[in-house]
Amino acid sequence: MNKNVLRLFFKPLTILNKFTAKDSRLIFFYSNLGFRDNVKAMYDYLIEEKFNMGYKFVVSINDYEDYKDNAPENVTFVNNKEGIKYFMKAKYAFYCFGKYPIKPSKKQTVVNLWHGMPLKKIGNMESGLEKIDYNFFTDIVSTSELFNPILMKSFNCNEKQVIITGQPRNDEMFKENPIMDGAVRRGADKVILWLPTYRNEEKDFPTPVLTERQALELNEMLKLRNAKLIVKIHPLQKLSGEMKKYSYIEFVTQEQLNKSEMTVYSLLRAADALITDYSSVYFDFMMLDRPIGFTVDDIEEYKKNRGFVFENPYDYMPGYKISNYGDVLSFIEDVIEGNDRYAKERRELNKKINFYNDGKSCERVVAKVFRRHNS
């Protein structure tokens, strides 16, 4: 359905929502891109803390059928169409992918957890999207004062709506899970995780600056050094064919992670280094204080077409700049040898990016959201 038509459909629901009675014991979760990321992390935390013993949970997701038959006590999984009525009844709601374009009533708390602090432009900062209303929440989470004005501009919200809590998904990186970490590492001395950003085009190979032939060469080098490269394919990325299997390069999909009850943050925790491009995930990984390599082969084109929130994105990319296959080899070699050339720069920038580095983001969201709106 056309987005403009969809917004017209939801507009009367904002009025109806104002007059709909709210259930103070109902917590609502929403995602239109799978049950993952910040909304799943928030849900998991509340389940661990047994909030579902005092509240009813309704989880509205596009893949609800994967969860509905094994739901915990007082938890119901529904599709996103059915979820509308529960959203309008809920006192509390959380989302990070998509949303219902329904304004919260004065009796509701709707938290936009989003899915990462931005390097690339999002929302109203994107060209052609300046006039679209993205403010359908009472609160939006941030990681530091650096991002507050960026979020305000991107979502056309005010300063009071932005809360510095850290992102719930990052708490996973601070948990101890040697069994899961061992399953990721599988005896490798070094593990490098590669997280390419989504590109709106079909690709022959999921990583930039690396061809299938070069991957064969790289696999032999990794084998000799007992190092492993894990490539997490973006959930939306389309590939033109089947991926070859390598002994020391592993390609992982979101579906595989879900089946293993793992997340990207399980992989990040176990990784010794990260390769990415313009994905916000590297802001998260900085909290672990490990080397980062940035593929920047198309940065000028990306800046022209999508744009960045900072005038000079390089000022906020504390790591190796990778433009070709040789740079990939050099970065991996440095990781294997323990050479961390950008440690000082990374640590200084992390102080601006992540106000908290403690794995307690979910706890802060609960404290600020539940207590503040009940005071």
CATH class in words for 175-353: alpha beta
- Of 124, 87, 82, nearest in space to 102 by CA: 87
Mean pLDDT of the residues in the chain: 93
- Spatial separation of the C-alpha atoms in residues 155 and 137, rounded to whole Å: 10
What's the whole-model pTM score?
0.93
- Spatial separation of the C-alpha atoms in residues 333 and 321, rounded to whole Å: 14
Domain borders along the chain are 3-166+359-374, 175-353
3-166+359-374 and 175-353, same CATH topology: yes
Contact assessment for residue 293 and residue 322, using Cβ atoms and an 8 Å cutoff: yes
pLDDT digits 0-9 by tens, 222-248: 999 999 999 998 776 665 556 678 899
Burial class (CB in 10 A: 0-12, 13-18, 19+), 298: middle
Distance between start and end Cα atoms, the chain: 40
Both structure tokens of 344: 């000082």
pLDDT digits 0-9 by tens, 106-131: 999 999 999 999 999 999 999 999 99
Mean pLDDT of 89-93: 98
Q: Tell me, what's the pLDDT at 10?
A: 85
Beta strands 190-195 and 273-276, pairing class: parallel
E strand map for 180-330: 190-195, 227-232, 249-252, 273-276, 292-295, 320-322
pLDDT digits 0-9 by tens, 321-366: 999 999 999 999 999 999 999 999 999 999 999 999 999 999 999 9
How is domain 3-166+359-374 classified at the CATH fold level?
Rossmann fold (3.40.50)
Mean pLDDT of 258-264: 91
Contact assessment for residue 354 and residue 148, using Cβ atoms and an 8 Å cutoff: no
